Amino acid sequence: MGSILSKIAEMEEDGTLPKFDPTNMYDILSLAGERGIKQQIMFDAMDIIRDNPNMSNEDAIIVSAKRWSLI
């Protein structure tokens, strides 16, 4: 386990540690899961798609995250 922590520390120092991307659906859902609102984000995204069937799932999740002030 120590080697993993040292690798993470090295990545932080090098600046190669992945950062949060507010345009990436998976980063948004991960953050929503950490905050306990992932299900609400997903339900809201389904409602958005129901209202606008031409919207992609990714776009609907981003819009939903903005509504929930997640990003």
- In the numeric block, which tokens belong to residue 30? 């991960």
State the pLDDT at residue 3. 79
pTM of the model: 0.75
State the pLDDT at residue 2. 66
State the pLDDT at residue 4. 82
Q: CA-based Rg of the chain, rounded to a whole angstrom? A: 16
Q: Which residue from 49, 51, 54, 19 is spatially nearest to 62, judged by alpha carbons? A: 49
Q: What is the pLDDT of residues 9-35, one digit of tens each?
A: 888 888 777 788 899 999 999 999 999
Task: Say how many C-beta atoms besides its own lie within 10 A of residue 70's C-beta.
Answer: 19
